[in-house]
Amino acid sequence: MGLELLIQFSILQTIINGIITGSIYFLVAVGLTLQYRLMKFPNLSHAEFFAIGAFLTYFFADIIRIGFWPGLAISMLLTGLLSTAIYLAVFKTLLSRGASLLHLIIASAGLGVLLRYILWEIAGRKSYFFTQNFTPFDIGYIRLTTLWLAIILAAAAVFISLNFFLSKMMLGKALRGLASNPVLARLSGIRSEYLILLVWMLAGMMASLGGTLRAADTRIIPELGVEVLLPMFAVSILGGIGSISGAFTAAYILGLAESLGVVALSALGLSTEYKVLISFVALVVTIIALPTGLSSVISKEKVRYD
Amino acid sequence: MTNIVPFILDGLIVAGYFAILALSLNMEYGYSGLINFGKAAFFALGAYASAMLTTNGYPAFLGVVVAMIVAGLGGLLISIPAIRVKSDYLAIITLVFAETIRVILKNESWIAGGVLGIRGVPPLIDFRNVSYETHLIIQAFIVMTLFTIFALVGWLLTNSPFGRILRAIREDELASSVYGKNNIFAKAVVFGLGSSIAGAAGSFYAQYIGFVSPDLFILAITLQIWIMSILGGPATIMGSFVGALVVISINRGTRLLKDFLNLPLDTNNLMFILTGALLIIVVIFKPTGILKEGRVESVRRR
């Protein structure tokens, strides 16, 4: 392989890494952004469901041994149910007692720490790995694995089906109505409580999907959630709260920026952990320059958020 | 039980610097309604600034002053993007700031010692050669003096005309700006001051335990400060101390109970699981705290 070809090859590989990272960020941020738009508060504990999903899949796939994909399906279901149950136990109680925005955010932060340390207590401070093997294959000079393909396909499938759900289906339209004007939505007979439960269910399911795929790509540790915490918020704010296409665009921008950033950091001889600075800068710049996020640029629908 | 006196004194000192932190959060959250999930970062900035100076031979007193300046500047800096936006964005941006600071401290081994941190930070006033108990009593005295000073500053500030602006911002930001008050300026000042006080607590902390490392300044610590602030009573000065004392007693109590019952749990994990649970319980059942907010002293009728 000539030098030029080698450079071309590594650039392609960097872009593919960015797309994979972006897909994972999209899967975890899309649930948060929907929840945020509907509930009007950022659920700081959302990232923990990412790690919980990965551990549940590990439990079913490698301890009960029912295989990776069936394990993932059960884990998505259970994580979704857990997320819904936590909404009912904590946030619905708070809302019915008339809690302010501040109290909801504080409770979600407490919940996040609670869940993280319970995971740590159960799993301990070691890494776990899935036994499932993913066959690598080559397209041209690029090496892909079935796992990477699955990550990209999962993100694309979630994006397309959510868009279809929100724009074409009655339930999805009701959801958008509830998010933009709760009082009017209730007056027109929308069952708000069921829709809220549905969103928490979906958020948990997508967090579990993203978490399992990320864990299969790296390793299963309780810190999985902390690792995506910053990019997750950067994606949902850069994309514009509640916007699916905004989150999709923002996730790939951030994913590519991170994978290029990692290359740049290692070329400069700095620790690659500094990639969190990319999320931080993206957040600060968005909040200063474009507080409504990309959604106000890419779609005609104005996201009114107040 | 020969070691009961150091145990109680240590608990009192820990409650003391946590009370200072809770007080600084109370000024931001209780009086002005600002959410700060980055308290641990300003605590860390103070601790590291002080540790770096004093291990390089500068006097310990200077460490406190520089810690306050560094943390205060950090607070002002983060308030530039964060203060103009709504409170949920402020929560996110301070949380992200704290995680970023922690990653930087963890990786900058040439300046901050990396994962290992900085060891051998000298105490503010050293009495270890007399006896350990005397040393602890002196440290407790220092931290109580610091708390008294900051409580006085907080009391004067929140009962001044400026304090009334802060309460007005908390209740209705629009109304406050209609009356011609500069909300952004007031919020930036209280954020800078709160961070600076947290920096002083950080400096004392580093000098008391003698070392700093990035793992001491995690989100769970910030949440402990939140519990103290809310449980003690938002918008009260003494509430910070009451809250700190209650939470530290619960922490110490569970540690003793765990050893007594021989539970097969990790102490650290148990403490933070309880922290999260306690925060949720406090927010659900007692969001107004133990002490109630007093009247503004400066407008009391004679």
Domain boundaries, chain B: 4-215
**Mean pLDDT throughout A126-149?**
85
Q: pTM to 2 decimals?
A: 0.90
B279–A277 CB contact, under 8 Å: no
Residue A142: pLDDT band (50, 70, 90) is confident
Q: What percent of chain B stands above pLDDT 70?
A: 96
Interface touch A230/B99, C-beta < 8 Å: yes
State how far Cα A8 lies from the chain centre.
Answer: 30
ipTM over 0.90: no
Q: How far is B258 from chain A (nearest CA, A)?
A: 15
Nearest CA in chain A to B279: A110
Percent share of chain A, pLDDT over 90: 57
**% of chain A exceeding 70 in pLDDT:** 94
What's the rounded mean pLDDT across residues A65-81?
Answer: 94
Q: What is the pLDDT of residues B234-246, one digit of tens each?
A: 888 899 999 999 9
The reported pLDDT for the residue numbered B300 is: 58
Q: What is the average per-residue pLDDT within B159-181?
A: 88
Q: Range with the lowest mean pLDDT among A126-130, A132-136, B191-195?
A: A132-136
The dihedral over CA atoms of A163, A27, A111, B231, expressed in degrees to the nearest 10, equals: -70
User: What residues of A are in contact with residue B170 (Cβ under 8 Å)?
Assistant: none
Question: Which residues 6+ apart lie within 8 Å of A73 measured at CB?
Answer: none
Q: Which of A181, A180, A183 is nearest to A241 (CA)?
A: A180
Among the partner-chain residues A110, A230, A291, the one whose CB lies closest to the CB of B96 is A230
Contact between chains at B35 and A102 (C-beta distance less than 8 A): yes
The answer to whether residue B299 scores a pLDDT higher than 70 is no
* Cα separation, B143 vs B130, whole angstroms: 19
Q: Are B50 and B202 spatial neighbours (Cβ–Cβ below 8 Å)? A: yes
* Dihedral, B35, B40, B44, B45 alpha carbons, nearest 10: -10
Contact between B135 and B124 under an 8 Å Cβ cutoff? The reply is: no
Distance, in Å, from the CA atom of B3 to the CA atom of B129, rounded to the nearest integer, reads 18
**What pLDDT does B287 receive?**
86
Does the structure show a pLDDT above 80 at A3?
Answer: no
Query: Residue B228 pLDDT > 50, yes or no?
Result: yes
The residue with tokens 């549940």 is: A56
Average pLDDT over residues B276-297: 84
pLDDT of A152 over the 60 cut: yes
Question: What's the per-residue H, E or C state across chain A?
Answer: CCHHHHHHHHHHHHHHHHHHHHHHHHHHHHHHHHHHHHHCCCCCCHHHHHHHHHHHHHHHHHHCCCCHHHHHHHHHHHHHHHHHHHHHHHHHHHHHCCCCHHHHHHHHHHHHHHHHHHHHHHHCCCCECCCCCCCEEEECCEEEEHHHHHHHHHHHHHHHHHHHHHHHCHHHHHHHHHHHCHHHHHHCCCCHHHHHHHHHHHHHHHHHHHHHHHHHHCCECCCHHHHHHHHHHHHHHHHCCCCHHHHHHHHHHHHHHHHHHHHHHHHHCCCHHHHHHHHHHHHHHHHHHCCCCCHHHHCCCCCCCC
Rounded to whole angstroms, the Cα distance separating B22 from B189 reads 18
Cross-chain Cβ contact B96/A283 below 8 Å: yes
**Which range (A4-8, A179-183, A275-279, B84-88) has the least confidence?**
A4-8
Instruction: Indicate the pLDDT class of residue B61, thresholds 50, 70 and 90.
Output: confident
Mean of the per-residue pLDDT values of chain B: 87
- Highest mean pLDDT pick, A117-121, A141-145, B85-89, B132-136: A117-121
- B172 φ/ψ angles, rounded to the nearest 5 degrees: -160, 105
What domains lie within chain A, and their CATH numbers? 3-298 (1.10.3470)
pLDDT of res. A270: 79
CB A97 within 8 A of CB B210: no
Higher pLDDT among residues B132 and A25, named by residue: A25
Mutate one of B80, B96, B170 to test the A interface: name it (highest A CB count within 10 A).
Answer: B96
Q: Say which residue, A267 or B14, is predicted with more confidence.
A: B14
When pLDDT is cut at 50, 70 and 90, the band that residue A159 belongs to is very high
